[in-house]
Amino acid sequence: MKIGFICTGNSARSQMAEGFAKYYAKKLGKNVEVYSAGSSPAGYVHPLAVEVMREIGIDISKQKSKSLEEIPLNKLDLTVTLCGDAAENCPIVPRANVQHWRLFDPVRVEGTIEEKLKAFREVRNEVIKRVKKLIESL
């Protein structure tokens, strides 16, 4: 089973989903290959995404922001898009098996570091809930 998590920048939501899916699939002994990519990759994994994942014991610091061309898009069994609002350019994925998870982009939050961390934690918690349900269903 090959799963791809796709969003715009591939710096936060899809990176968290990739990290948790790899962790949880391994924990459950599921044979799953996990990828993430963005339609307009940011070129980095957001440091606050790394931080909030580290808080729960998952290290995504070695992951990198990738374009759709860098993953086996046409060989994915399931594609999950994670774009949250109309201002984002959510990619069109040429696959029959696509799920859309409407998730707010925490990168867009302005304010104090605590306000930003709160947004990243909220998105992380939603990603974990959805990824856990997805992996368990395989």
Question: Among 42, 78, 90, 98, which one carries the catalytic annotation?
Answer: 90
Q: Is 7 a catalytic residue?
A: yes
Question: Among 3, 4, 5, 7, which one carries the catalytic annotation?
Answer: 7
Q: Is 97 a catalytic residue?
A: no
Q: How far is CA 23 from CA 16, 40, 106, 113, in A?
A: 11, 26, 22, 27
Question: Among 25, 71, 83, 131, which one carries the catalytic annotation?
Answer: 83
Q: Is 83 a catalytic residue?
A: yes
Instruction: Return the H-helix or E-strand segment holding 37.
Output: strand 33-38
Catalytic residues: 7, 83, 90
